Amino acid sequence: MPRPEKVAAVEDLRERLSRARAVVLLDYRGLPGPDMTALRRFIRTQGVELRVVKNTLTRIAAQEAGVEGLPAALVGTNALLLGEGDPAIPFRVARECVRRYPQLKVKAGVFDGATVSASEADWYATLPTREELIGRLAGALAGPIRGLAVTLSGVVRKFAVALTEVRKKKETEG
């Protein structure tokens, strides 16, 4: 019979996993305590949640939440980065954490329901944010419109110059 606190921990983690759009599994073996505290602070400022949970409880919660791919990587010391907003943010945060603390290693991840390997996780970290994509789209849409406006204003400008020349010529002829 499972203990009530473990049942509650699994239920909480299952709920968080089902809400998360992206999950990154980090191996934090060898990271000293003060660095782990600094890491938690940094991750919290990025809007991502760091959870250190027993592998067995994580495996159960992942299966209940329908998250595939994580249970196979749940060996050793693991931390979960959970992100509910932009799914690329946890991967970017994981990349920055690995850069700051070389002891950390990305083991696997889940990106919008798809299982991600450690090498793919690095690629997902390079994806632009939603705001960057919207900016690029706006620029791409504005480019042709701007070109049309410049072309039309050039035609109108040339027409105005031509009319001015005709007026001058008629004034000189009398």
CA distance 76 to 144: 54
Residue-level pLDDT at 1: 55
Residue-level pLDDT at 76: 83
CATH of the domain at 73: 3.30.70.1730
DSSP letters of 27-59? E-TT--HHHHHHHHHHHHHTT-EEE---HHHHH
Question: Which two tokens mark 4?
Answer: 């009530």
- What are the 10-residue block averages of pLDDT along the chain, 174 residues in total? 81 84 87 88 88 86 79 81 85 90 87 80 78 83 80 83 86 81
Beta bridge partners of 50: 81
Domain count, the chain: 2
Residue-level pLDDT at 73: 75
Is residue 63 domain-shared with residue 134, that is, in the same domain?
Answer: no
Question: Which two tokens mark 47?
Answer: 């809007």
The pTM (predicted TM-score) of the whole model is: 0.70
Residue-level pLDDT at 75: 81
Is residue 29 domain-shared with residue 88, that is, in the same domain?
Answer: yes
Q: Which of 49, 42, 52 is nearest to 16 (CA)?
A: 49
Domain range for 140: 129-174
CA distance 114 to 68: 8
